[in-house]
Amino acid sequence: MKRMILMAPVLAPMLTAACATMAPPPPERGPCVVDEAAKMHFAAVKYRERMRGEIEHATHSAVSRIVRPGDMVTQDLRPDRLTILLDDGGLISGLRCG
């Protein structure tokens, strides 16, 4: 019994560590890839801000930007960025990497 009491401080952290949950792995983020499936899925869909995460995930983009007609944009090339093109009515007219 005495031996069990002496081992309790050693075993307690190990036993409680087994109950801890691990964080989920980070989502795959790499160079942006816009394939035909992504284009077809989001084409002519009314854009809502809550959709941004889904679109970024589908294209493996780390960041995205929204471009409406007449918006000025930078011409820098960022392989991890997705550009979501909207028409005058707020519908998605295209997806483009860079």
Domains in the chain (CATH in brackets) are 25-97 (3.30.10.10)
pLDDT one-digit tens code per residue, 63-78: 999 999 999 999 888 9
DSSP secondary structure of the chain: -HHHHHHHHHHHHHHHHTTSPPPPPPPP--S----HHHHHHHTTPBP-GGGHHHHHHHHT-SEEEEE-TT--------TTEEEEEE-TTSBEEEEEE-
Q: Rounded to two decimals, what is the model's pTM?
A: 0.69
State the pLDDT at residue 25.
64
